[in-house]
Amino acid sequence: MLLLHRAVVLRLQQACRLKSIPSRIYIQACSTNDSFRPQYPSLTFSADNSSTRGWKVMGTLLGVGAVLAYQDHRCRAAQESTRIYTKEEVSSHTSPETGIWVTLGSEVFDVTEFVDLHPGGPSKLMLAAGGPLEPFWALYAVHNQSHVLELLAQYKIGELNPEDKVAPTVETSDPYADDPIRHPALKVNSQRPFNAEPPPELLTENYITPNPIFFTRNHLPVPNLDPDTYRLHIVGAPGGQSLSLSLDDLHNFPKYEITVTLQCAGNRRSEMTQVKEVKGLEWRTGAISTARWAGARLCDVLAQAGHQLCETEAHVCFEGLDSDPTGTAYGASIPLSRAMDPEAEVLLAYEMNGQPLPRDHGFPVRVVVPGVVGARHVKWLGRVSVQPEESYSHWQRRDYKGFSPSVDWDTVDFDSAPSIQELPVQSAITEPRDGETVESGEVTIKGYAWSGGGRAVIRVDVSLDGGLTWQVAKLDEEEQRPRKAWAWRLWQLQAPVPAGQKELNIVCKAVDDGYNVQPDTVAPIWNLRGVLSNAWHRVHVFVAP
């Protein structure tokens, strides 16, 4: 409403000069779009000299002034010829220099002047710059209110070209042509296969990551599976019975729900690239997300197929229904001891945050292995078997392993290193962003922390001077169960900015309940695949004068 201030004051001045005010005022705004036509109750004024009534009248006048200002703007807009813009024109307006444009429905808005006034902060609004508001408004219900639409209406500059509404055609021979539509907030690391992460300012906005912005790690095209014909094949134990389970069959097993954080082995790989080139996607801090998963316990399903713990080493191998043109499917495995342990809570999940799994996240069924690297959480699960050795999949035997910084691609021996299962302790700063300018006085720092294997995060230390001095951050959200701390801790710190400081070197490091702590620098943990990147996270910011 701050943007209406001048118009409100002018209208109040005009209203105060009136000798009389009708007992009832009816407002009807001019609009070319019914979605922006607010409905107002009639306002009744009565003569009362009490101070309380005086304040009520003043409040009423403020509301009337705002409405009249809005009415004038809409009427003027309706009287002017509507300009038509293409999506390409809108997409070129993404900075203060070019102007910051967004769309809602078929309408185009120039919100350049509003960015700094956005209640959620400029960075949130800038995520939609040059594109539609709908995907971002869908994440926050507060936008679905009439006063928000009224405020936006002030910035309308035209309409989208109707021809832009026609969806582009795709080549049917393209194996990725049937991939699902993704949320525009995601920062894309590769399109084919699709891999993307949420921006840091959205990542820790909620303890539970909304499905549309949950980080996506695909190795192959996304299969489009029919839930009615879907079958999960469980190879039976010797003397046992193999199972062919429909989705309904899985629903007949006892249902369990757990909150689990998934993290890609390559999270924060981009920091290793700064030390020396690595092979892999340039993940920043967003290859990690948290969801509430529901499904059948893997141990219950394996038990029905006749499997039980054995004295010899064994592994549960998973095969997905995603495959490359040669028919090779994605695969991975975990130790049988973990799969059969009810306390490990491994799920064959069919729900994510109370909804059926989205296609990008494994619909109709995926494995969820709490405390273990995301590469073992096989999506679009088609087959489960128990084998004396781990999966022969490329992604189990020839990827997702850690090596010494001295090992290069000429000397690497993948058979010499174990496959990554549990991940080390991790934390990162999500606000402020690197290179941002913060206000003097006090700075608010936010981030996440997590450790693999169910180890609870017990502390996050934050430094404003590159690690010379430290402060302890406040841990938010849910308490963690001993040895079952499957989900992250969000944290924040409000700290005074030292007087006269022009720059801050912010650092964070987490400690888990095994007193494991993050290493201070990247170079000693560098490896040729850029995995297990968990050094102190560093953000350099400037302080406004």
Run of H or E residues at 69: helix 51-79
Give the torsion through C-alpha atoms of 54, 58, 59, 62, to 10 deg. 170
Reported as a pLDDT band with limits 50, 70 and 90, residue 305 is very high
pLDDT digits (tens, 9 = 90+) for 38-64: 343 333 333 444 444 444 444 444 444
Among residues 30, 37, 40, 143, which one is catalytic? 143
More confident position, 105 or 11 = 105
Closest-CA residue to 432 (of 295, 292, 544): 544
Q: What are the start-end ranges of the E strands in 432-519?
A: 437-438, 442-450, 457-463, 471-472, 474-475, 489-496, 503-512
**Bridge partners of residue 383, in order along the sequence:** 233, 319
**143 is known as an active-site residue:** yes
pLDDT of 139 reads 62
- Mean pLDDT, residues 204-210: 96
Domains of the chain by residue range: 84-160, 187-398, 425-543
Report whether pLDDT(501) > 90.
yes
Q: How far is CA 341 from the centre of its chain?
A: 31
Run of H or E residues at 334: strand 329-335
| Bond preceding residue 193 cis, omega within 30 of 0 | yes
Q: What percent of the chain has pLDDT over 70?
A: 82
**361 is known as an active-site residue:** no
- For 187-398, CATH number out of 3.40.50.1370, 3.40.50.1000, 3.90.420.10, 3.90.45.10 equals 3.90.420.10
Among residues 11, 74, 217, 376, which one is catalytic? 217
Among residues 400, 448, 537, 538, which one is catalytic? 400
Among residues 76, 83, 118, 483, which one is catalytic? 118
Rounded CA-CA distance 18/291 in Å is: 58
Closest-CA residue to 230 (of 386, 359, 325, 347): 359
- Mean pLDDT, residues 416-443: 97
Phi and psi at residue 203, to the nearest 5°: -60, -45
More confident position, 30 or 269 = 269
Closest-CA residue to 211 (of 71, 361, 68, 322): 361
Contact indicator for 406, 511 with CB cutoff of 8 Å: no
User: Highest mean pLDDT: which of 16-30, 168-182, 215-229?
Assistant: 215-229
Rounded CA-CA distance 270/192 in Å is: 19
Reported as a pLDDT band with limits 50, 70 and 90, residue 366 is very high
pLDDT digits (tens, 9 = 90+) for 513-524: 999 999 999 999
Contact indicator for 428, 352 with CB cutoff of 8 Å: no
- For 84-160, CATH number out of 3.40.50.150, 3.40.50.300, 3.10.120.10, 1.10.3260.10 equals 3.10.120.10
Class of domain 425-543: mainly beta
**217 is known as an active-site residue:** yes
Among residues 73, 264, 489, 538, which one is catalytic? 264
pLDDT digits (tens, 9 = 90+) for 61-90: 444 454 444 455 555 545 456 899 999 999
Residues for the chain: how many in total?
545
Reported as a pLDDT band with limits 50, 70 and 90, residue 163 is confident
